[in-house]
Amino acid sequence: MNQSDFLKTVLPFKDKVYRLAKRLLVSAEEAEDATQELYFKLWKNKSKLSDYKNVEAFAMTMTKNYCFDRLKSKQASNLTLVHSNYKEKDTPLEKQVEHKDSVNQVQRLIESLPEQQKIIIQLRDIEEYDFDEICKMVDMKPTAVRVALSRARKTIREALIKKHNYGVS
């Protein structure tokens, strides 16, 4: 596999790798390092990439494993998570603050989920992978993935309802 073929194969999902790393490691710098490390490993093993049916799923699994290793090694530092997936135009400041607060609340709730649920909700609801791909990435049966996703969504929904009903976090 030459450099051009490699880039055609792996560049389309670079942003997804970064977002998963950022979700798990929280820090943008750590996520960038993880993405760079993953791409270096993929380049070193470029001759073996054709052995995989879905290189993207393989890369996401590698990312998840690398991030877990980083977290276990205690090298990751706690940095704040900043949401920058969208920018609003011509929205009153009050609404912008409300939206930002809601996004931050959901992010905090996702971060408080158990690791498995956090990964599954990231892959399904944010990265929009289908269930078969998620099952391969997390090495779980479809029923277990659906149950974990359902529980994660229910936890977030209940926390948001409680906050909006009582105004308390």
Q: How confident is the model at residue 114 (pLDDT cuts 50, 70, 90)?
A: very high
CA distance to 3, 65, 86, 101, 146, per residue, from 68 (Å): 29, 5, 27, 28, 22
pTM summary value: 0.54
**SS3 at position 34:** helix
State the pLDDT at residue 84. Answer: 47
At 151 the pLDDT is 95
Place of tokens 């942003």: 15
Which segments of 26-141 does DSSP mark as H helices, in order? Answer: 28-44, 55-72, 93-112, 115-121, 131-138
Q: For each of the domains in the chain, give its residue range(s) and CATH number, in order of start.
A: 3-72 (1.10.1740.10), 93-166 (1.10.10.10)
Confidence at residue 18, expressed as pLDDT on a 0 to 100 scale: 92
d(CA 117, CA 151): 8
d(CA 75, CA 50): 33
Give the pLDDT of residue 75: 47
Mean pLDDT score, 17-45 = 88
For position 167, what pLDDT does the model report? 54
Neighbours of 15 (CB within 10 A): 11
Residue pointed to by tokens 């993953």: 38
In this structure, are residues 149 and 114 in contact, taking their beta carbons and an 8 Å threshold?
no
pLDDT in tens, 70-90: 877 754 344 334 444 445 456
Question: 17: phi > 0 → left, psi -120 to 50 → alpha, else beta; which?
Answer: alpha
For the chain, give the mean pLDDT: 82
The predicted-structure confidence for 127-157, as pLDDT tens digits, reads as follows 888 898 899 889 999 999 999 999 999 999 9
Q: Looking at residues 163-169, what average pLDDT do you find?
A: 65
The crossing angle, in degrees rounded to 10, of helices 3-10 and 28-44 is 140
Give the dihedral sign, CA 25/29/33/35: positive
pLDDT score of 35:
92
pLDDT, position 51 = 85
pLDDT score recorded for residue 80 = 38
What's the gap between Cα 160 and its chain centre?
21
